[in-house]
Amino acid sequence: MSLEPQELRERFEELLEGAPLGIAVLDTELRFVELNERLVAMRLMTPDGQPREACLGRRASEVLPPSPAAEQFLRCARRVLDTGRSVDREVLALAPEARPEARHTYCVTFHPSRRDAVITGVYAFVEDITARHQLQEQQKELLARERAARARAEAAAQALGESEARYRAILAALDEGVVVQSREGDIVTANASAEHILGLSVDQLAGRTSMDPRWRAIHEDGSPFPGSEHPAMVALRTGEPVRSVPMGVRRPDGSLIWLSINAQPLRRPGEAEPYMTVSSFFDVTGFKKALQDIHLSEQRFRSLVEATTQMVWTTDATGMVRPESASWMAYTGQDVKTSTAPKGWLEAVHPEDREHVLAEWRRAVARKEPLRLESRVRRHDGEYRQFLVRAVPVLAPDGSIREWIGTHADISEARRAESERARLLLEAQQAVRARDEFLTVAAHELRTPLTSLRLHLQLLLRQLARASPEVAEQLASRSEALERQVGRLAGLIYTLLDVSRLTTGRLSLEPREVDLGLMVGQLAESFGDEFRRLGASITVQGPEEPLVGVWDPLRVEQVVVNLLSNAVRYGGGKPVEVRLWREGTMAVVSVKDQGIGISQEDLSRIFGKFERAVSERHYGGLGLGLYISRQLLDAMEGSIQAESTPGQGSTFTVRLPLTRTSGGAVTSG
């Protein structure tokens, strides 16, 4: 049968609370992940009576009252985490100093919890054996008093040894079986531990009731144990849990085994009568098998959670859809007969997708691998919708597939959104190409009248030189301002043209031998008037040796001019220092100003296209100078970096290789 995650969780919690032992699940940090009320009630855990919820999520060292028994508990748990081996039947004794007679004795077994061969925590099973321990002490005292009678003492010692042997055999084989029974008492399912303990397979147990005479159940006194008094039937009849009921049953081979049984009724929300009951029982030989079954239940629970999205379905091991796949039937409009027929579910799949879907499904079943694909499924109103299909196999301990759990998630809207996103991206790319083409055409068209304007300005300046001193003096400042604006306009046009060439990969390099120190000195001198006009100064600290490399001189000059222009613009009229030096195989140039500086957030983006660290309203510019500089330096196998503190200025450092650089096209990356 297929169980919902909530129902699985309820069964797990009922199993936990129905166990006759104290049970705890701890993670690798020894924090309590799960523990039952029986464990909370033990003095080992909470002598102050704190509730179970107060223990969850806390470390065992914080919950357990300080005592040698608590320290022994923690040492054993850590040993399991460190070695990966179980610690069986560890005896812990808890005796208050003020009341030695209130001594409690516990038998604790630790087992590692694993997931995919990795230890994820520790299972702890705690049994209060105080009564047994006290009985043993009383027996020893009785033997001491009867030691005078040799024959009787030897007989008593032999009886005690046999009793202890049986007791130790039971502890060594302790395990838990779980049986689920319907309202009528029919067994619905049973775990592998129940099979092992009872000597019956799940198929043999299925449909069997507590009233079946083949159980041959007996009370501890040997009297018959009627089926109506079995713990499961009492729990179904009264609606109350039944705890620690001893019962003897006969296995098919005739052997008698004794069980300690708990039965917990299960109710659906809003219903007063139980709809089924979960019975758990312990047998020495089935203890480890019960742990494996709990682990299998956890795996199945995780698989259900992983697969559950929108439309959920289950199949048997061969891929036949089960009748409980209600969401599939509700969506497709198929009835139980159609959906559970061989390939009946395929009728709801789009005809163009059927062959592919069937082939992938058969491949997954054959290889026992998870299934993931997309297909179109017909809704009950006839509309086909796009779905993401996922399915995972639930494996039995022997590796065979027990069932498949799958989901269909409607992704129609997501696919339409992806198509729209692709369309918008294509339109944006086309718009960017159109913009770049416009920049190229505009730059070329503007350069022609600008060249003519510059020639006429130069002619005007020459004629102005021959004019009267009064006229020359009157027009000199205006002519200089006009020349600066024409130069600025030319710079903007050439910058746009460079960006266009970078974008289309048509900006080429023409490397030849360049004396970097000489070039930087000449450029600094040409900027002298600009700095003096602002009341600032520029100093150049030359290299100790010539820095001669093979680069494109026009592009190197363009980079240095960009840095000096920025120093003029953002330097705040304060001194600017230019330094050149050799650093291994690299020639280094740094330009340092004492201006407004750049914030750390802006430093990471100022080398991007059209990026600026200040408002264009106050400082102007296109935000392309540093972007072009980095592209040019990358093409010449160089680099540029910036360091700055707001209010204290900025330092830009350029590095160029002194080895030969081949020419070629420059792209924008």
Phi, psi (degrees; rounded to nearest 5) at 635: -65, -30
Euclidean distance between the first and final Cα of the chain, in Å? 59
The three-class DSSP label of residue 386 is: strand
290 has a pLDDT exceeding 50:
no
Mean pLDDT on 252-258 = 86
Note the Cα 666 to chain centre separation in Å.
41
CB atoms near residue 213 (< 10 Å): 8
Contact 346, 361 (CB under 8 A): no
Distances (CA, A) of 515 to 524, 554, 658: 14, 13, 11
Q: What pLDDT was estimated at residue 129?
A: 85
Q: Which residue has the higher pLDDT, 394 or 284?
A: 394
Contact 645, 610 (CB under 8 A): no
111 has a pLDDT exceeding 90:
yes
Mean pLDDT on 6-19 = 76
Q: What pLDDT was estimated at residue 100?
A: 61
Percent of the chain's residues with pLDDT above 90: 10
Q: What pLDDT was estimated at residue 260?
A: 84
257 has a pLDDT exceeding 90:
no
Confidence of residue 645 (pLDDT cuts 50, 70, 90): confident
**DSSP one-letter string for 89-120:** EEEEEE--SS-GGG-EEEEEEEEEEEETTEEE
Q: What pLDDT was estimated at residue 289?
A: 47
Q: What pLDDT was estimated at residue 654?
A: 92
Query: What order do you get walking across the sheet with 401-410 strand by strand?
Result: 311-316, 401-410, 384-395, 371-378
Confidence of residue 142 (pLDDT cuts 50, 70, 90): confident
Mean pLDDT on 605-618 = 63
Confidence of residue 76 (pLDDT cuts 50, 70, 90): very high
Lowest mean pLDDT among 51-55, 147-151, 189-193: 147-151
374 has a pLDDT exceeding 70:
yes
Q: What pLDDT was estimated at residue 306?
A: 47
Q: Which two tokens stand for residue 41?
A: 């009630």
- Most confidently modeled range among 138-147, 373-382, 612-621, 624-633: 373-382
Mean pLDDT on 25-40 = 88
Lowest mean pLDDT among 12-21, 270-279, 403-412, 488-497: 488-497
Confidence of residue 305 (pLDDT cuts 50, 70, 90): very low
Q: What pLDDT was estimated at residue 346?
A: 86
456 has a pLDDT exceeding 70:
no
Contact 613, 623 (CB under 8 A): no
616 has a pLDDT exceeding 80:
no
Q: What pLDDT was estimated at residue 476?
A: 59
Average pLDDT, the chain: 78
Q: Which residue has the tokens 């797990």?
A: 12
- Most confidently modeled range among 155-169, 227-241, 444-458, 621-635: 227-241
54 has a pLDDT exceeding 60:
yes
Mean pLDDT on 650-667 = 72
121 has a pLDDT exceeding 90:
yes
pLDDT tens sequence across 307-355 = 555 788 888 888 788 776 777 888 888 888 887 888 888 888 999 998 9
Contacts of 430 (CB under 8 A, 6+ apart): none
Contacts of 574 (CB under 8 A, 6+ apart): 536, 593, 594, 595, 649
Using left for φ > 0, alpha for ψ between -120 and 50, and beta otherwise, residue 2 falls in: beta
Confidence of residue 661 (pLDDT cuts 50, 70, 90): very low
428 has a pLDDT exceeding 60:
yes
Q: What pLDDT was estimated at residue 339?
A: 78
Q: Angle, nearest 10°, between helix axes 469-504 and 625-635?
A: 60
